[in-house]
């Protein structure tokens, strides 16, 4: 064997066998031996090559199985939280229902909903984002779906609120309390939006408000209800509704396609 092939062999063996596999060392000893190979050595080499091929096939099968397990877990998350898709919500909205046949969690006269947005690789070219809307455990109106448009964390947070309000209106809910861990959304809708409306959705520098299109839709949807109350909750501290909405949002992000 020519010497210039040895680095390639060693590198490939290292890639395939990272856990000190004895087959790798046997094969390496045979391939790098200075002795003239005998017939038995050639047979060994052939058998080991076949074993390596079989092992690589098994590794490929395992990689496929791991990916499949991940997909199954995502589907289970959706089913366990009783979620629907954004398209399903649109169908519900088209019915124009005046009274809901579903049970909801309430605080005083307000129906309670948790919303969340998730974005993987936020700000990067390969970003993907999704929304989560949670009305309750196994509730049929829970939502998990990818965002529409630019996949950012703020886009996801805003669109989650839009879908929550649309769903509430479609099911005859007049007063809604939205619980979110997004201070950005709450500040936007309780403080900054008044000036945005006055300035035709422009900021002080003259440019458009970031996420203008989504905020215009959210502002319009809110007017369909009698009252929307915003409540900030801390994220990732074990609050059931927030954790559930977060799971739905992450599952929705995994469905995002550019």
What's the Rg (C-alpha) of the chain?
28
Q: For 82-253, CATH number?
A: 3.30.420.10
Q: What is the pLDDT of residues 116-131, one digit of tens each?
A: 999 999 999 999 999 9
pLDDT at 52: 85
Q: Which residues make up the CATH 3.30.420.10 domain(s) of the chain?
A: 82-253
Are 13 and 27 in contact, with CB atoms under 8 Å apart? yes
The pLDDT of residue 6 is 45
pLDDT of residue 56: 77
pTM beyond 0.75: the answer is no
What pLDDT score does 89 carry? 46
For residue 28, with 0-12 CB atoms within 10 Å meaning exposed, 13-18 middle and 19 or more buried, which class applies? middle
**Torsion angle defined by CA atoms of residues 232, 238, 244 and 246, in that order, rounded to the nearest 10 degrees:** 60
Model pLDDT, residue 48 = 83
Query: What angle, 0 to 180 degrees and rounded to 10, lies between the N-to-C axes of helices 86-95 and 153-170?
Result: 30
pLDDT at res. 5: 45
Residues of the chain short of pLDDT 70, as ranges, are: 1-40, 64, 67-68, 70-85, 87-100
Q: Are 144 and 114 in contact (CB under 8 A)?
A: no
The answer to whether the CB of 177 falls within 8 A of the CB of 113 is yes
């Amino acid at each position: 064997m020519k010497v210039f092939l040895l680095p390639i062999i060693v590198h490939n063996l290292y890639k395939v066998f990272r856990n000190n596999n004895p087959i790798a060392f046997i094969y390496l000893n045979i391939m790098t031996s200075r002795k003239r190979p005998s017939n038995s050595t050639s047979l060994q080499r052939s058998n080991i090559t076949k074993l390596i091929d079989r092992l690589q096939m098994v590794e490929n099968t395992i990689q496929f199985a791991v990916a499949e397990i991940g997909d199954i877990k995502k589907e289970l998350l959706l089913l366990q939280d009783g979620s629907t898709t954004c398209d399903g919500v649109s169908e519900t909205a088209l019915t124009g229902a005046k009274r809901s046949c579903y049970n909801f969690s309430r605080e005083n006269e307000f129906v309670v909903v948790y919303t969340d947005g998730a974005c993987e690789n936020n700000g990067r070219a390969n970003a993907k984002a999704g929304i989560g809307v949670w009305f309750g455990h196994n509730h049929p109106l829970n939502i998990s779906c990818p965002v529409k448009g630019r996949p950012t964390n703020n886009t996801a947070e805003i669109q989650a609120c839009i879908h929550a309000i649309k769903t509430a209106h479609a099911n005859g809910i007049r007063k809604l309390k939205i619980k979110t861990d997004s201070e950005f959304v709450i500040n936007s809708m309780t403080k900054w939006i008044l000036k945005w409306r006055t300035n035709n959705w422009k900021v002080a520098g003259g440019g458009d408000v970031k996420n203008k299109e989504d905020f215009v839709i959210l502002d319009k949807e809110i007017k369909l209800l009698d009252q929307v109350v915003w409540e900030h909750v801390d994220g990732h501290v074990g609050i059931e509704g927030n954790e559930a909405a977060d799971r739905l949002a992450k599952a929705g992000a995994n469905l995002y396609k550019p």
